[in-house]
Amino acid sequence: MKTRYLIVLLIAFVVGFTTFSYAQGGDQGEPDVIFYNGNIYGVLNNPTAATTFATRHPYRITNIMTYHWNDAYGQPGGTIALISQNGTVYGPWYVTTAPGQGGVPNAYWHAYPNVVIPPGTYTIADSSPDTWAQNDGSGGQGMAEIKGIRVHYRR
């Protein structure tokens, strides 16, 4: 019984310390662009490749943007999530929308997660892949931008 108590206490300490370290660390400056694959060329719908990015450091994700030109019709907002290479899902988060080129309604989807992700590789999951813009310049990936503030561990 005493051993179980010590193990539970140790796990709680480690989890609490890690959470505290992430939550308290970080710069308070402007977010960095962690990932961007947009361009000015004509687009098609429905990405032909997974939209992935990698980080070498933990980041507090402040903004995720996906682009939904959709043949000049846009797309009413949905959700965006991040899926880590180990299967952990962050989100989904509901988006706000903004007009795109030529005033296309709801072309830009913005989520503001304010969540810390550890270093790793992530896939962006968009609730409307059929309208998500892509082209050769994006490598067939859905056009997206990820911004965040690097988190530093405190000792």
Residue 28 to residue 25: CA distance in whole angstroms: 9
| Model pLDDT for residues 133-153, shown as the tens digit of each residue | 999 999 999 999 999 999 987
In a domain, 134, yes or no: yes
| CA nearest to 66, candidates 148, 132, 153 | 132
Residue 104 to residue 76: CA distance in whole angstroms: 11
The amino acid occupying position 129 is P
Containing structural domain, residue 102: 2-150
In a domain, 155, yes or no: no
In a domain, 122, yes or no: yes
| Model pLDDT for residues 23-76, shown as the tens digit of each residue | 434 456 789 999 999 999 999 999 999 999 999 999 999 999 999 999 999 999
Q: What is the CATH number of the domain that holds 121?
A: 2.60.120
CB 34 within 8 A of CB 139: no
What is the tally of structural domains in the chain? 1
The amino acid occupying position 3 is T
pTM of the model: 0.81
DSSP code of 142?
P
Q: Is the dihedral of CA 37, 38, 43, 45 positive or negative?
A: positive
| CA nearest to 61, candidates 115, 9, 24 | 115
In a domain, 97, yes or no: yes
In a domain, 89, yes or no: yes
Look over the chain and give the mean of its residue pLDDT values, rounded to a whole number. Answer: 86
